[in-house]
Amino acid sequence: MAPAKTPEEIQREKELERRRQVQQRLIEAQRAADRSLLTNYRTAEDLLMARDGQLASVDVMIQATKGNIRRQQEWLRGLRSEAANLERAGKELPQDLRDDITRTEHEINSSYAIIVSREQQKQGIRDNFDRDLNRFIKLKGLPEGTLDEQTQSSPQNNLIRCGSREVCSTSWRRATAYVRTHATTPILHVGDALVINEPPLKQGDISLALSLIRDTSGDGASLFLDLQCRRFETSATACRTEPGVTVLEGFRAAVEGDGEQGGNE
């Protein structure tokens, strides 16, 4: 007759059984995901089309928000022009005008917070499809290099996370210096969390908007650099001229201290 198991042995067997069950559930979940992947997509190109469709739908929402931002900017420009006229005349600014300027600045920053959230949503879509693409290629036994490198997502160089307030403060100084160096239109507004250039007036102008979006929890934040178009109702790609894209692509290196494009702090 086998000796009675000790409490430690019984506990160890229970733990092993629990781990086996967890592993089995993971295996079954992966098999189900694989079946779904192979059922929904016949080729790797099908996944790319699905990914691009989801990204495009988010871009539509981003463009709508950018339209609101442009209208808010025009309103802010009018308020600041009124304030400048009063100051030149030696008159004190009414409190309601001060409040309108502050409120409009806050609304613009809040709108950029929405865009940052949408951009993060897009990155999540890219990451999910990257994973599915790699799994699909493996399941199909396709050779390496089946997909061009351009189909794989890369970090968004115009959207940067910063952790502590000290790091964010340094990043913000570098980012504002970068905007001053690379924008070709005058500054419309400079604040603690928002820098906006005047809208572009002619072809080739580079107008930028920089926002610092604080996390709702914790002391981290995100910095977002955006290109502005002459006409805000244009498509998501209309702003992406070659010089403008170069500015966006150089933003991360400058802010994180790996490049020389940031200007002097």
Does the predicted model carry a pTM greater than 0.75? no
Query: For position 208, what pLDDT does the model report?
Result: 92
Q: What is the largest CA-CA distance in the chain?
A: 105
How far from each other are the two terminal CA atoms of the chain, in whole angstroms? 80
Residue numbers in the chain where pLDDT is lower than 70: 1-2, 145-155, 217-218, 230-239, 258-265
Sheet holding 194-197, edge to edge: 159-162, 221-228, 207-214, 194-197, 187-190
CA distances from 242 to 26, 237, 246 (A): 46, 11, 6
* Two structure tokens written together for 108: 């613009």
CA pair distance 118, 55, nearest whole angstrom: 10
What tens digit of pLDDT does each residue of 23-44 get? 999 999 999 999 999 999 999 8
Query: For position 166, what pLDDT does the model report?
Result: 84
Query: For position 32, what pLDDT does the model report?
Result: 95
Query: For position 262, what pLDDT does the model report?
Result: 44
What tens digit of pLDDT does each residue of 123-140 get? 899 989 999 998 999 898
Query: For position 2, what pLDDT does the model report?
Result: 67
